[in-house]
Structure formats: structure tokens, C-alpha cells
Amino acid sequence: MEKMLRRFAAFMLWAGLWTFIAFLASFVLSTSGQAQTTGNHGKELYEKRCGGCHAMDRDKEGPRLGGVYGRAAAMVPTFDYSAALKKSKITWNEETLEKWLADPDKLVPDNDMPFHVQNADERHDIIAYLKQTSGK
């Protein structure tokens, strides 16, 4: 009887280990899929909300945004920024980009950006995309 109990315990340990491994694998796969989906969604939102005035690799109506995450504000030398943004001493990170996209005039009064992103989830996804494309 004792031998059977040991075999049963060993089997349960083995089965439990495989169940745990299967659970862990499914979790990893689902979260990597979420990150990819968020990244794709962020890119789509960036193109939809920001792409009319901004590009990643060249100035348009607004400055290029490639590498913006972690960069000081008003530092693209080929773009003519407002005096207010030049004086702002802002470094673009999650907090400052969130405030900027929510209400540019509240963060930097007298700036030249007339647009904001009203939806917080969309701002979050756009910021994640800007961070990703900046290599951060």
C-alpha cells in the first residue's frame, strides 16, 4: 500500500508540474500577444491621431517624433518651435507625454499645438508606441 501511495504522490507531483508549465506557457503567450496588440494599436492610433501633422522621420506641420521619448522638448534643430515650448525644460516621458497629449495648453501655455487626445486609453497606447519606437 505504501508503494502505491508513493507512486500516486509521484504521479500527482508530475501531473501538477506539467499543469503548472502549461499554465505558465499560456500566460507568457497571452501577455506577449497583448503587448504586440497594444503596439499595433498604438501605431494605428499614432497614424490616425498624430500622423496628419507629425512623422517619425521628418518634420511636417509638427516636428518629427522619432526618438521623442526621453528627448528634451524643442530639440529637433530643423523645426521652429514656439518660444513657450523652447523655455519649458520638459523631457518627454510617460508623465509629460500624458499631460501634453491630454491638454497641451495646460502643460505649456502659448504653445503651437492645437490638438489633444481626449481618451486616456488612446493616450496610453500612443505613448507606449512612441516609447517603443524610441528604443526605450
Distance from C-alpha of 24 to C-alpha of 10, rounded to nearest angstrom: 21
Provide CB contacts within 8 A for 82, sequence distance 6+.
108, 110, 111, 112
As a whole number, the mean pLDDT across the chain is 83
Taking only the tens place, the pLDDT of each residue in 43-97 is 999 999 999 999 999 999 999 999 999 999 999 999 999 999 999 999 999 999 9
* 16 has a pLDDT exceeding 80: no
CB 65 within 8 A of CB 132: no
* 12 has a pLDDT exceeding 70: no
Model confidence pTM above 0.85: no
CB 112 within 8 A of CB 88: no
* Three-class secondary structure of residue 75 per DSSP: coil
Q: Which long-range contacts (CB under 8 A, 24 or more apart) does 53-62 make?
A: 53/115, 56/133, 62/113
Distance from C-alpha of 132 to C-alpha of 45, rounded to nearest angstrom: 14
